[in-house]
Homo-oligomer: A and B are copies of this chain.
Amino acid sequence: MKRQRPPIIGVMGGGDVDETTAESAYELGTLIARNGWVLLNGGRNAGVMQASAKGAAAAGGLTIGILPDDHKGRASEFIRIPILTGMGHARNIINILSSDVVVACAGGAGTISEIAIAVKQSKPLILLNFMINDMVGENVAKGRVFSVRTPAQAIAKIRTILNIPG
């Protein structure tokens, strides 16, 4: 009856991204689902949100989307549980707070606001091919922010953070 909760992996990233970033997000979603983890993202049918949800759904994973809207009109069809906040950008804070580990794919100012909140909250944060400098350098040194090049490396880092034996 009582079950241990599955880790929730938050995948952040832009709503308008290039093909390479989208493919990487899809692969990341697939690997998250294969590990039995829950994928959480911003829920919209665009960019990294759409691609990562599609990848996780393809692998049979549970997908949670925290939407800025008060309706499901822009929810990705690969999001199984749409959480409607009606709060616009304020939902970015919920994305970060609810994730056990955050992976940030490439994005714009919205993604950077989520990275900033993750740093502010000392949340484990993995940058996947997203080179940013401000505020991050010091936290890399402290071992709270990690920079990786591939989805597989992101997964390996998540396993380390979650203390899952290799």
Q: Please list the residues of chain A having a beta carbon within 8 angstroms of any beta carbon in chain B.
A: 1-3, 5-6, 8, 38, 54, 57-58, 62, 64, 66, 70, 77-90, 93-94, 97-98, 108-110, 112-113, 116-117, 119-121, 132-135
Contacts and interface: CB of A to CB of B under 8 A. Distances in A.
A132 B85 CA distance: 26
A88 to B, nearest CB: 4
B116 A109 contact: yes
B110 A84 contact: no
A87 B88 contact: yes
A119 B89 CA distance: 12
Contacts of A38: 81
A25 to B, nearest CB: 16
Contact of A116 (B1, B80, B88, B116): B116
Contact of A120 (B64, B87, B110): B110
A118 B91 CA distance: 16
A122 B81 CA distance: 21
Given A85-B97, A86-B93, A134-B134, 17 more contacts: A2-B77, A2-B78, A5-B79, A5-B80, A5-B81, A5-B82, A83-B98, A84-B97, A84-B98, A86-B89, A88-B93, A89-B120, A108-B135, A110-B116, A112-B112, A112-B116, A113-B113
